[in-house]
Copies of this chain bind each other. A is one copy, B any other.
Amino acid sequence: MKDTVTMPALMTKEDVTTLILIAKKKTGMKWEEIAEGIGMSPVWTHSACMGMNTMPKAKAEALVALLDLPEEAVSVLEEYPTKIWEQAVPTDPCIYRLYEIVGVYGPTMKALIQEEFGDGIMSAIDFDMKITRVANPKGDRVKVEMSGKFLGYNSW
């Protein structure tokens, strides 16, 4: 039934993600190189390519040029995404470990942040993140650095 009404085409963020993955495979570029190619960080770049963040026009154009994507992709990359994840508890072991850290250390993070700053939160919006490799004789380590603006609760 879907095809009975003829309608103009609409490229989605999901389509653009697929095009990026194909281009990445073909060119053999790493995320770090793509990020460098558009002058942004790898975390933000990957997230925006996955459709979980919006790209400013200049960055979208740079990406389209870098990966030779169709022009229409620029405006799609600029759209403001609706961030949806379907698994309230993620099953992939690499992502689950992050969830587990929030479960185990969440109340501790809250207590220490609030003891230092007062009642409030670390913003997940005015936020940035970096992931690096730290060499270690007992086995290299993943280092994750997050930084978010502290926001204090209002009283009125």
Protomer copies: 10
User: Which applies to chain A's interface (DSSP): helix, strand, loop or mixed?
Assistant: mixed
Chain A 117-151, CB within 8 Å of chain B: the 1/0 string? 11111111111110101101011111111111111
Residues of B within 8 A of A125 (CB): 93, 120-121, 151-154
Closest to A142 in B: B122
User: What's the least CB distance linking A59 to chain B, in Å?
Assistant: 7
Closest to A122 in B: B142
Query: In the complex, A87 Cα to B138 Cα: how many Å?
Result: 35
Residues of A within 8 A of B (CB): 1-2, 4-5, 7-11, 15, 18-19, 21-22, 25, 30-32, 40-44, 46-48, 50, 52-56, 59, 72, 75, 80-85, 87-129, 131, 133-134, 136, 138-156
